[in-house]
Chains A and B, each alone.
Chain A
Amino acid sequence: MTNFNQKNYFRVPKGYFEKLEKRLIRNSKSSSKKLYFNVPSGYFDTLEEAVVRKARSLTPPKTHERKANALYYFAGIAASLTLVFNLIQYQQNQVIEIEDQALNDYIENYYMDNLDSYEMLSMMEDSEIELLSDFSNKP
């Protein structure tokens, strides 16, 4: 058998056959040359990443993530309800306090306007009268 390598004086660039194989496979996958259509440089590399990223964003979360999410939802709802309840209660208390104050003012003003000092003293406890007299006796 002929020893081909001994008679072959021709050389090819380093890695030529590896590149040739890749080039042939690439060309067999597309007919871009026949069509004269082109794509931007590096397009197919970015396409792959873009498609995988898009697909990943469509994937529903895994079961344990869903459970955790459900827990967060319920905790959020519970917290909101507590907050709303507390707000309502606070507002109600505030209304009652404001109403109490207004009533007291009204009664006090009524007493001041319509009752004489005797009638006013008759409604007070003895200790309160003493306290008042203590203050009034001071210079």
Chain B
Amino acid sequence: MSTPQSIFVNALKDPINKEEAFRRLVSEYKERLYWHIRKLVLDHDDANDVIQNTFIKIYLNIDGFKENSTLFTWMYRIATNEALNFINSKASKMGLQNKDWIEAKADRLMADSYFDGDEAAHLLQKVVARLPEKQRIVFNMKYFDGMTYEAIAEIVDTSVGALKASYHHAVKKIKTEMNDKF
């Protein structure tokens, strides 16, 4: 039986309906994917580059989408990979480790005109930036987006148990560092 998702995916694969369906897809998911990316790259201009590349990848690769996962999970995975590749490319151009590059971005957040946070919010971002990459992704998805472990597991291709451990470690580190500063 055709589900609403498979009908929509078929429209995305159909050359006649592709553009219209793609427009609907962008309209529906642009904000959720943008905020996911923004939390990973921190800067608006960088997030703008990554979200555009993400949608173009989705557009070009939709024919290869086999519906083994939900469309949203598949797109989230592409967005995550695009953001990580972006960080990797920027960091290596500057001769930095990914973690150092993102920490430098977090340090400069107060000077960013698109960041309204107070000192506590800035500190939280700086502490999150110091987490190992995987813990940072899991923390963002769980804490800020309120996603279930099952959904995160599908996106980052890890077991639910490993994710729970990652999140637990991340929260513990953040609490310790925040308590030290305040």
A residues contacting B by CB (< 8 A) are: 26, 29-32, 34-40, 43-44, 47-48, 50-52, 54-56, 58-59, 62
Nearest opposing residue in chain A for B122, CB measure: A36
Contact A56 B51 (CB under 8 A): no
| Any A CB within 8 A of the CB of B117 | yes
Q: Which residues of B contact A58 (CB under 8 A)?
A: 56, 59-60
Q: Which residues of B contact A52 (CB under 8 A)?
A: 19, 22-23, 26
Q: Which residue of A40, A51, A59 contacts B114 across the interface (Cβ within 8 Å)?
A: A40
The docked-state distance in angstroms from the alpha carbon of A43 to that of B52 is 12
Closest Cβ–Cβ distance, residue A136 to chain B (whole Å)? 89
Contact B117 A30 (CB under 8 A): no
Residue in chain A with minimal CB distance to B117: A36
- Is B38 among interface residues, defined by CB-CB distance under 8 A? yes
On whether the beta carbons of B31 and A44 are closer than 8 Å, the reply is: yes
A54 touches B27 (CB 8 A): no
Known contacts A36-B121, A37-B115, A58-B59; A48 and B35 CB within 8 A of each other: no
Closest to A63 in B: B15
Bound CA span A27–B59, Å: 27
Contacting pair B19 A48 (CB below 8 A): no
- How many angstroms between the C-alpha atoms of A58 and B22 in the bound complex? 13
Residue of A nearest to B51 (CB): A47
Do the beta carbons of B115 and A30 come within 8 Å of each other?
A: no
- The 7 listed contacts between A and B (C-beta, < 8 Å) are A36-B121, A40-B44, A40-B114, A47-B26, A51-B52, A55-B55, A56-B19
- Residues B19 and A55 in contact, CB atoms below 8 Å apart: yes
Once the chains are docked, how many angstroms separate the CA of A48 from the CA of B20?
A: 12
Q: A37-B114, A55-B56 are in contact. Are A48 and B27 (CB under 8 A)?
A: yes
Q: How many angstroms from the CA of A56 to the CA of B23 in the assembled complex?
A: 11
Q: Is the CB of B31 within 8 A of A55?
A: no
B52 and A54 form a contact (CB under 8 A) = yes
In Å, the complex CA distance between A47 and B50 comes to 12
Contact assessment for A51 and B55 in the assembled complex, using a CB-CB cutoff below 8 Å: yes
User: Which residues of B have CB within 8 Å of A50?
Assistant: 52
A35 touching B52, Cβ below 8 Å: no
